[in-house]
Structure 1
Amino acid sequence: MVTTTAALGAGLLVAAPAQAASPPQNAAVVTTTAKVTAKQSRAAKQKKRAAYAVKYAAKQIGDPYRYGGTGPGSWDCSGLAGGAWRKAGVKLPRTSQQIYRAVKKKVSWKGAVKGDLLFFYGGRTHMGIYAGHGYMIHAPSSGKRVKKIKLTKYYKRNFSGGVRPGL
């Protein structure tokens, strides 16, 4: 009986270290994890900036439209979008066409999230800031004021692209 116990005990001693040993750390796994964490961090920072841009744009509701207006006090559509994102820490070019070309992350109509910039008409001559829940804040045209509007079928028909600044 002693021999069986000793053999059994020896087997456990030999088997235990092999089972308890942890696999060696793979450098690729560590690097991938760091990249995922950095990407999540960038996305979280972008989301925070987007919320700030929308909040800033909402404070401009009621300001008059002025062609070439970059605020404060009066705005055109790209001036409002650029001004709101500038306050959130992201510098954008001046015109709607330049903004669309400069921002690399493109978004679809259905993929739009709060803070995305939506462009309309063939030449991307109008834009607004998506406020979430089917609404947009924009500076419409001469004689009108900055307003928050429901995105209707008209806007969906005339949609020509969207971008997500701040990534």
Structure 2
Amino acid sequence: MFKILSTHPTSSAEVLDLSTRIVKHAQGARSNAVDVALYESAKFFVANGPTTKGVDVGADRSRDQNTAGASDGVDGGALATAPPFRTGETSEVGGRREFEPFQPLVMAVFAWPKEPWRQPERTRKSRVDLALAFVQRGMQAPATLAAILDPWLVEERSRPLREDIQRACQACKRDL
């Protein structure tokens, strides 16, 4: 599902709601193999998708139509079709904005189970990798992820995983 969303993204509420229900149904199986598959595919999605053109095609088309006449006076039309950025924004912030509609879906994968330290180490490692990818991509509300990571950090028994969780926590708090 995440690989399809990364190549054919859509931010429609219906698709995101259906995707969230699929995730919750898969989590209901309470299978470590399913959990690892969810974490790994969500990590792939966070790292590789979505792209600007696929997130909201209708908005891109209307923006292109609205700026078509404005590009006549601009060299090659590059400035007229570029997405608008607020002062101080970079392309990284634009990438965050593209990803924002999908954050609740990824958080639905990440937020379960409530006691991750009880999962096998391979599953916990996949979950930490997802958290690190999520933080590196940029988040709308890093405090939500930090609230999940903090209790896990206290209970985690694997030193390498604790170090990775600590890095993700620090990145979340830095983004606050």
TM-score past 0.5 threshold: no
Structure number with the higher helix fraction is 2
Higher relative contact order (CA 8 A, sep 6+): 2
Rg: which structure is higher? 1
Structure (1 or 2) with the greater strand fraction: 1
- Under a length normalisation based on structure 2, what TM-score does the superposition of the two structures give? 0.27
